[in-house]
Structure 1
Amino acid sequence: MEPSISNKYKLGPKIGSGSFGVIFHGTDVLTGEEVAIKHEHVETKHPQLMHESRVYKILQGGTGIPNVKWSGICGNKLSLKSVLMLADQMIDRIEFVHSKSYLHRDIKPDNFIMGRRSKDNEVFIVDFGLATKYRHPSSYNHIPYRENRNFVGTERFASKNTHHGIQQSRRDDLESLGYVLIYFLKGSLPWQIKAATQKKKSEKVREIKDSTSFEDLCHGCPIEFACYFHYCCSLHFDTKPDYGYLKRMFRSLFSREGLKMDYVFDWTILKYQQSVLAAPPARALGHVAGTSTQETHVAANYNRQSGGEERSAGRFPEQKSVAKVSAVSKDAKLSSSKPMRQPRDLPIQASASNRCKDTLVLDKSSPSPETIDANPKAVQEIQTELKNSSIVSSKARAHLLVGIVKMYESFIKSFKSMSLSNGENFQH
């Protein structure tokens, strides 16, 4: 997942640093605008960034004063959908490690990474530097229960028993995973604090963990997360966890929320938005330079009848010259069409005809032109020929040209009669 700030700005390379923060190059995810991002760690002893942002806002509008786009605390929250899809795989990874008689003992967000390319939806578990065996690999005899053990792991995500010096077992890895999931959902944990020394910080973290009930910790989250913690803490030291039960519980929540297991994570959407911004803008369908809405309708109608020979989206084929009808007015005149070039044989593809249909749907709201009658038999023969062949045959092209000529003659007659009845001159 690419780093971002509040899902609004993509974090780029570092461009500077000082005593009170680090400055990065950034890009607005939606507009592509380049910005500078000043970052200050949330646990800085003497934070100044929020004060600085207030000063910027007071000075805003002055010559030579940067414009502040956004300021705040970035918690990197994830949606419930992403957290549940991650949880399903993370429980699987921990179960596999345990099946090989090992404990991880350092479950935290940094030790789970996403794959790349064909495995970009797959969660990997890493960093086994603190891993240790909890049972004999062949006899499966569990290690004995012990107390007064040295602390091993990361304080923010370690289990309560680990803080109290109790020997770790499988239940502790799962409890740590629970803290990771809540961290993903809320963006922070209650015991993320500052202290004068590391020893005082460790003591304070332990006190807050002990005094925080799982209901308070999971406040605002679905009840399944509190149930997860209660289950993990109910396990005896050497009890094998029911990993399947935990996965079923989260999958049930997933279904109840009406979510879809499509592996579209929050960062998948972010990457898609960035790719759309990076792609060149598509040429709009509908109005073409020098043509009216009515003219576009006629061209689209002809394009559909001819089998969609042109493959380029957003423009009509050059060889399909159509009588140009200017916007409805009293002084309307018929411009002469260009000679039609011999069309090349091109395969008929569903995508081409679909584009024509899309064009017609998009233009439905505009006034439709007067219908021009063509030879029904010729049109029927063209459609039959196109359906029975993947290549536009010479016979189909001949019928096509005849049909266009008749359409053109019919239009000339109707327009001429209309002009003469109004007493207006007609030139051809």
Structure 2
Amino acid sequence: MDSILGKDLTNNTIARQFKLIKKIGSGAFGEIYLVQSQSKSEYAMKLERSDNKHPQIFFEAKLYNYLQGQDHLLCNSKEGIPKIHDQGVDGDYNYIVMDLLGPSLEELFNKNHRKLSLKSVLMLADQLIQRIEYIHSKQFLHRDIKPDNFLVGVGSKSSRLYVVDFGLAKRYITKEGHIPYKEGKSLTGTARYASINTHVGLEQSRRDDLESLGYVLMYLLRGQLPWQNMKATNQKEKYQKIMEKKQETTPEQLCKGFPSELTQFL
């Protein structure tokens, strides 16, 4: 079994109290397991190898906790941020324990035969914009906006969207002010939803998260994007072809047959 962690950890126990029941996903830098505590409560646990040269999990935990802070600016926005229940190191692994959530938008989209109504997508868009606006209000960029990184809650919170996987997040306001304009950056995020400026190698800012959101909304409405399934011999060539197709596809072409507000958004 291919694993970022080197092996399947099902049935192992971490921190003497969390039994790993099954693998439920992978993030930018780690793997996620359904775990059960000694009190039989269920959580999601994200793990990475502790010998990782660029550990991400504790940065991510710190950011979740920061976004969960009591000084949130938008009413109910922090409700879309999962809570961290525990974190630490156990042998070969760094781990964080967080709220167990339901399926991702990508999973729901596939279950729904890759078709969502305009009404459904606009209702999702309302929450998606709230989540991104909240993260930006806390001076961070997500930098990997995609359907896989928005999950619904469980039980009474099944209609609420949560944003996850902050492994690529970056502060855009520092003590010196807004991060400076830079060129020659490598692509960060997921090529399918990356902004054109990200493809070109420019430092990302808030507009890039929002452009990615625009692509996500059109993906959910159309069923696919024009630059999917590009044939290429390697990743570099594929990224180049995706970028060229994005550059030649106007917002009017992408949003044809849908409300003009979507064209304006892009």
Range class of TM-score, shorter chain: 0.5 to 0.7
2:253 corresponds to which of 216, 221, 229: 216
The one of 133, 148, 151 equivalent to 1:113 is 151
Determine the C-alpha separation between the residues in 2 that align with 1:204 and 1:98.
Answer: 30
Whole-angstrom distance in 2 between the partners of 1:181 and 1:107: 11
Bigger RCO (CA 8 Å, 6+ sep): 2
| 2:108 equivalent to 1:88 | no
Preserved CA contact (<8 Å) 1:75 1:186: no
- Secondary structure of the corresponding residue to residue 204 of structure 1: helix
Listed one character per residue, the Cα deviations across residues 101-145 of structure 1 (whole Å, up to 9, x for unaligned) are 110000000000111111011010000000011012xx5711111
CA deviation vs aligned residue, 1:282-337 (integer Å, no higher than 9, x gap): xxxxxxxxxxxxxxxxxxxxxxxxxxxxxxxxxxxxxxxxxxxxxxxxxxxxxxxx
Q: Distance in 2 between matches of 1:202 and 1:145?
A: 22
Gaps of 5+ in 1: 1-73, 230-428
SS of 1:124's partner is strand
Q: Deviations over 1:354-392 (max 9, x none)?
A: xxxxxxxxxxxxxxxxxxxxxxxxxxxxxxxxxxxxxxx
Report the secondary structure of 1:94's partner residue.
Answer: helix
Equivalent position of 2:8 in the other structure? none
SS in 2 for 1:113: strand
Secondary structure of the residue aligned to 1:150 is coil
Cα distance between partner residues in 1 of 2:210 and 2:150 = 14
Question: Aligned residue for 2:12?
Answer: none
- Matches for 1:11-90 after TM superposition, within 5 Å: 76-90=114-128
In the TM superposition, what is the alpha-carbon distance from 1:220 to its structure 2 partner? 1.4
Asked if the contact 1:75/1:188 (under 8 Å) is kept, the reply is: no
Which residue pairs with 1:225 in the alignment? 262
The superposition leaves residues 235-270 of structure 1 with CA deviations (integer Å, 9 ceiling, x where unpaired) of: xxxxxxxxxxxxxxxxxxxxxxxxxxxxxxxxxxxx
1:145 to 177, 181, 187: 181
| Structure with greater proportional strand content | 2
Corresponding residue SS for 2:211: helix
- 2-structure distance, mates of 1:140, 1:223: 39
The whole-number CA distance in structure 2 between the counterparts of 1:196 and 1:167 is: 27
1:183 alignment partner, one of 176, 197, 219: 219
Find the counterpart in structure 2 of residue 205 from structure 1.
242
Question: What runs of 5+ residues in structure 2 fail to find an aligned partner?
Answer: 1-111
Which of the residues 112, 135, 139 maps onto 2:173? Answer: 135
Task: Tell me the distance in 1 between the aligned counterparts of 2:235 and 2:185.
Answer: 18
Calculate the TM-score normalised by the size of structure 1: 0.35
Question: Could you give the per-residue CA deviations for residues 36-81 of structure 1, whole angstroms, max 9, x where no partner exists?
Answer: xxxxxxxxxxxxxxxxxxxxxxxxxxxxxxxxxxxxxx96021111
| CA displacement, residues 147-199 of structure 1 (integer Å, 9 cap, x when unaligned) | 11111010000000000000000000000000000000011000002322212
Whole-Å Cα distance in 2 between the matches of residues 153 and 93 of structure 1? 18
Alignment of 1:369-388 (within 5 A): none
Please tell me whether the aligned partners of residues 157 and 176 of structure 1 are also in contact (alpha carbons under 8 angstroms): yes
Who is 2:233 aligned against? 196
Q: Distance in 1 between matches of 2:217 and 2:183?
A: 28
Cα distance in structure 1, aligned partners of 2:263 and 2:113: 21
Aligned equivalents of 2:224, 2:258: Cα separation in 1:
13
Partner of 1:397: none
* 3-state secondary structure, aligned to 2:262: helix
Matched, 1:164 2:200: yes
Structure 1 CA distance, aligned partners of 2:162 and 2:114?
20
Structure-2 separation of matches of 1:185 and 1:140: 40
* Cα distance in structure 2, aligned partners of 1:140 and 1:93: 26
Q: Find out whether 1:99 has 2:137 as its counterpart.
A: yes
Label 1:149 to 1:120 Cα distance change in 2 as closer, same or farther (>3 A). Answer: same
Q: Which amino acid aligns with 1:184?
A: L
Instruction: Give the secondary-structure state (helix, strand or coil) at the position aligned to 2:224.
Output: coil
Q: Distance in 2 between matches of 1:86 and 1:194?
A: 31
Task: Give the whole-Å Cα distance in 1 for the aligned partners of 2:259 and 2:190.
Answer: 26
